[in-house]
Structure 1
Amino acid sequence: MPSLSRRSAPRTSNAMLESLLSGTGISASQSSRSRRLRRWIPVVISLLVQVPITIVGVIWTGAYAEYGDAASVLPFSTVLELSSIGAGGIAAIALSLIGPLLLLWIRRYPGPLIAVISALAAADFLIGYSLLSPPYLALAFAIVIAISYGARTWTWVSMIVVWEATLLAALVVGIELDPHRVVPTTIGLLLVLGFAEANRRRREQFEKFHTAFASRREEELRAERTRIARELHDVLAHSLSQINVQAGVGLHLMHKQPEQAAEALASIKLSSKEALDEVRSLLGMLRSESVDAGEDDAPLVPEPDLSRLASLADSVRAQGIEVELTSEISEHTAPALQLALYRIVQESLTNVVRHASATSAIVSLAVEGDDYVVTITDNGVGIDADGHSAGRGLLGMRERAELLGGTLRVADAQPCGTVVTARIPHRSASA
Structure 2
Amino acid sequence: MQPRSPEPAWSPGPQHITGPRRFAGPPTSFIVITVAVIQVVGTLFSAGHQDAPRPLDALAILLLLAGPAGLAYRKREPQVMLPVALVATGAYLAFGYAWGPIVLSLALAIVLTAAAGLRWQAWAGAGIAAAAVVVGSALTGDENWPVRASAGVAWAAILVVVGQSFRRRSERFAEYRRRREEAQKAERDEYRLTLARDIHDVVAHSLSMINVQASVALHVGADDPEKLRPALEAIKAASKESLTEVRQLLGVLREDVPLAPAVRPTLARVPELLRNAEVGGLRVTLEDNADHQRVGPAQQEAAYRITQEALTNVGRHSGARSAVVRITQTGGALTVTIDDDGAGMGGALPGNGLTGMRERAVALGGSLTLHSREPGLRVEATLPIHQEGNRP
Q: TM-score, normalised by structure 1?
A: 0.78
SS of equivalent to 2:383: strand
Q: Does 1:276 align with 2:243?
A: yes
Is 1:320 the counterpart of 2:281? The answer is yes
Partner of 2:62: 94
Structure number with higher helix proportion: 1
Alignment of 1:229-240 (within 5 A): 229-240=196-207
Task: Give the letter aligned to residue 385 of structure 2.
Answer: H
Residue 430 (1) aligns with residue 392 (2): no
Report whether the alignment pairs 1:382 with 2:344. Answer: yes
Equivalent in 367, 379, 385 of residue 420 of structure 1: 379
Give the counterpart of 2:149 among 182, 204, 210. Answer: 182
Confirm or deny: 8 A CA contact 2:110 2:122 kept in the other structure.
yes
2:16 aligned to which of 15, 18, 22: 18
SS in 2 for 1:105: coil
Mean Cα deviation higher: 177-186 or 110-119: 177-186
Distance change >3 Å, CA 189–CA 58, structure 1 → 2: same
Q: Deviations over 1:18-74 (max 9, x none)?
A: 355799xxxxxxxxxx99961112112211221112223344445x76xxxxxxxxx
The structure-2 alpha-carbon separation of the partners of 1:45 and 1:180, relative to structure 1 and needing over 3 Å to count, comes to farther
Gaps of 5+ in 1: 1-13, 24-33, 66-83, 292-297
Contact 2:64 2:102 in 1 (8 A): no
In the TM superposition, 1:269-418 aligns within 5 A as 269-287=236-254, 289-291=256-258, 298-300=259-261, 302-332=263-293, 333-383=295-345, 388=349, 390-413=350-373, 415-418=374-377
Letter of the 1:147 counterpart: A
User: Normalising by the residue count of structure 2, what TM-score does the alignment of the two structures yield?
Assistant: 0.85
Give the equivalent residue in structure 2 for 1:29.
none
Q: How does 1:112-261 map to 2 (within 5 A)?
A: 112-127=80-95, 131-164=98-131, 167=134, 176=141, 178-261=145-228
Matched, 1:47 2:59: no
Contact 2:320-2:341 at 8 Å conserved across structures: yes
Q: Is the 8 A contact 1:280 1:299 kept in 2?
A: no
Distance (whole Å) between structure 1 residues aligned to residue 333 and residue 388 of structure 2: 9
- Give the superposition deviation at 1:366: 0.6
| Amino acid in structure 2 at the alignment position of 1:418 | L
Give the structure with higher Rg (CA): 1
Distance 1:266 1:356 in 2: 26
The answer as to whether partners of 2:333 and 2:382 remain within 8 angstroms in 1 is: yes
Please tell me whether the aligned partners of residues 336 and 380 of structure 2 are also in contact (alpha carbons under 8 angstroms): yes
Over the matched positions of the two proteins, sequence identity in percent amounts to 33
Amino acid at match of 1:197: Q
More divergent stretch after superposition (401-410 vs 269-278)? 269-278
Structure 2 unmatched ranges of 5 or more: 1-8
Partners of 2:43 and 2:102 within 8 A in 1: no
Q: What CA RMSD, in Å, does the superposition of the two structures yield over aligned residues?
A: 3.0
